């Protein structure tokens, strides 16, 4: 491996934000047709699958050991699980519940200004930057003590006989 870590296109660049398209969709749920929200989930899921394929292809190209198939499966499954939870499931649920709480408060409020539908969207959008890193780190820790512990695989460590460059 080089002295500098390789930049991960899907986790260390602005491409990472494609995984959060569904949070934007959830924030806009009260203003747009459901098809727009579902499209935002399709976009996020496409990002998840692209990263999964990318990570698997990297291992496939680098691995010449008899464990190649196993290592590709470990890499792709780890990526798919991590990205599914960190990019789609937990953030989507979180923004959905934030927006639902705002809508609940709006229904209980007597102030007409507070009842504007765009307020839910604005609060949902403003919440996104605050949830990204805590969710990523929580999913990373959860993966370390569960799936990765069970499989013995960690994406930051060399695979059985495969040196990361």
Contact criterion met (CB below 8 Å) for 42 and 68? no
Residue 157 inside a domain? The answer is: no
Structural tokens at position 40: 């935002």
Residue 158 inside a domain? The answer is: no
Helices 34-62, 68-83: axis angle to 10 degrees equals: 150
pLDDT recorded at residue 48: 97
Residue 139 inside a domain? The answer is: yes
- The model's pTM is 0.87
Residue 159 inside a domain? The answer is: no
pLDDT digits over 20-60, tens only?
999 999 999 999 999 999 999 999 999 999 999 999 999 99
Rounded Cα distance, 47 and 104, in Å:
32
pLDDT recorded at residue 99: 96
Contact criterion met (CB below 8 Å) for 11 and 135? no
Residue 4 inside a domain? The answer is: no
pLDDT recorded at residue 9: 87
Closest CA to 151 of 85, 87, 83, 82: 82
pLDDT recorded at residue 162: 55
Helices 117-145, 90-108: axis angle to 10 degrees equals: 150
Residue 161 inside a domain? The answer is: no
Domain count of the chain? 1
Residue 124 inside a domain? The answer is: yes
Write out residues in the chain with pLDDT < 50, as ranges. Answer: 1, 3, 163-165
Helix (H, G, I), strand (E, B) or coil at 42: helix
Rounded Cα distance, 69 and 77, in Å:
12
Range of the domain at 140: 14-151
Structural tokens at position 39: 């499209």
Residue 128 inside a domain? The answer is: yes
pLDDT recorded at residue 148: 95
């Amino acid at each position: 491996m080089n002295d500098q870590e390789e930049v991960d296109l899907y986790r260390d660049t602005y491409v990472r934000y494609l995984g959060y398209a569904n949070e934007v969709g959830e924030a806009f749920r009260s203003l747009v047709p459901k098809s727009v929200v579902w499209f935002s989930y399709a976009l996020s899921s496409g990002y998840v699958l692209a990263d999964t394929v990318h990570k698997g292809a990297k291992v496939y190209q680098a691995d010449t050991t008899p464990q190649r198939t196993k290592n590709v499966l470990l890499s792709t499954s780890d990526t798919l699980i991590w990205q599914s939870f960190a990019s789609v499931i937990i953030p989507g649920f979180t923004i959905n519940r934030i927006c639902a709480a705002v809508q609940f408060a709006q229904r209980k409020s007597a102030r007409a200004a507070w009842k504007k539908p765009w307020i839910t969207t604005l609060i949902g959008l403003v919440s996104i930057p605050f949830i990204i890193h805590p969710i990523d780190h929580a999913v990373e820790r959860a993966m370390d003590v569960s799936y990765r512990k069970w499989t013995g695989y960690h994406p930051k460590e060399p695979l059985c006989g495969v040196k990361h460059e």
